[in-house]
Structure 1
């Protein structure tokens, strides 16, 4: 049904004061879709996926994207970040509002390599 393919991020996103939170909202044979909530001062640590692409769609807020450890690129709502397999990606919220972004990763299953 169509209702199983349409999601409202405000209804599925979770957040915590301690750490950034990733919430899985759709899992399929070839892709997983998550929504991240990153509060001010929180981060998504730099990492890579050996064989999967990870696309981030920023819905709210702004912060620093890390294309490599120690590198910073300002990103914000309305931007899409394409992270091909094997490339570093991370994010720090240095602002005063939550960053909310959707991540779509394929193919799955995917690994996680901390950098």
Structure 2
């Protein structure tokens, strides 16, 4: 059985940068379209899921990362919407959840491969 390639912090930083760029561009686009009902997270989640299945199948790390990202998203979202408009709050919450998820995934993938 082939093991998934080791996950480097450089790759994590590259993927995280892509996630943040997506969140910023999606937020700007939704502001221009004035469409607060269009969700930001689904497309990002689909991209991260595809990256996970193609490159790194560390299942324990994936579950921990998904749970951590959901906790951050659900914790921050209501507080962010009080202080910001809905589109900006959704974008910032999605970016923060991606940061936590990718950090947990990288850390856990290194622990589980030892």
Question: TM-score surpassing 0.5?
Answer: no
TM-score calculated relative to the size of structure 1: 0.30
Instruction: From the two aligned structures, give the one with the greater helix fraction.
Output: 2
Using CA pairs under 8 Å that are at least 6 residues apart, name the structure with larger relative contact order, 1 or 2: 2
